[in-house]
């Protein structure tokens, strides 16, 4: 299994948007596509549900590394923030290095009122720390 830091990636699986796996009790979604649409977002939730969610004890934490993403469709954003199927996750940290994406995402989350706790980050360690807060 590939290593990252001192942690081991577990149950690594490909999905339409990229790769998902568990590391240190957190589900990681590495978005490799530059465009994320509704079909890709639905596939990711299905992949996590079918392959990873039952492997986590306790809170289901998700870190989405979307630093490669240039665009996410409005339908995809709405699905991720409001569809009941996403409630399998308790808390989501979105990792981006694009200030414009961060502004748009924060605005969109303010309008759509996500069903789960979601926060944007530009620093990976800050995202991990926030996810692990009680």
Please report which confidence band the pLDDT of residue 100 belongs to, taking 50, 70 and 90 as the band edges: low
CATH number reported for the structural domain that contains residue 18 in this entry? 3.30.750.24
* Inside any domain, residue 132: no
Domain housing 95:
3-123
* Inside any domain, residue 131: no
∠ CA 8-14-19, rounded to 5°: 55
* Inside any domain, residue 128: no
* Inside any domain, residue 103: yes
* Inside any domain, residue 94: yes
* Inside any domain, residue 129: no
Spatial CB neighbours of 51, under 8 Å, sequence gap ≥ 6: 11, 13, 20
* Inside any domain, residue 130: no
Residue-level pLDDT at 110: 67
Spatial CB neighbours of 129, under 8 Å, sequence gap ≥ 6: none
Distance between CA 111 and CA 117 in Å, rounded? 14
Query: What's the domain count of the chain?
Result: 1
Please report which confidence band the pLDDT of residue 106 belongs to, taking 50, 70 and 90 as the band edges: low
* Inside any domain, residue 61: yes
Residue-level pLDDT at 2: 42
Cα 90 off chain centre by: 11
Q: What is the pTM for the complete model shown?
A: 0.85
């Amino acid at each position: 299994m590939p290593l990252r830091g001192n942690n081991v990636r577990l149950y690594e699986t490909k999905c339409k948007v990229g790769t998902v796996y568990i590391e240190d009790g957190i589900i990681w979604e590495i978005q490799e596509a530059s465009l994320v649409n509704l079909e890709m977002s639905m596939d990711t939730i299905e992949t996590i549900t079918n392959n990873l969610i039952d492997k986590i004890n306790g809170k289901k934490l998700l870190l989405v590394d979307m630093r490669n993403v240039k665009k996410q469709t409005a339908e995809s954003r709405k699905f991720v923030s409001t569809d009941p199927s996403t409630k399998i996750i308790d808390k989501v940290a979105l990792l981006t290095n694009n200030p414009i994406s961060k502004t748009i995402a924060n605005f969109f989350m303010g309008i759509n009122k996500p069903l789960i706790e979601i926060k944007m980050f530009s620093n990976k360690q800050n995202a991990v720390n926030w996810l692990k807060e009680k």
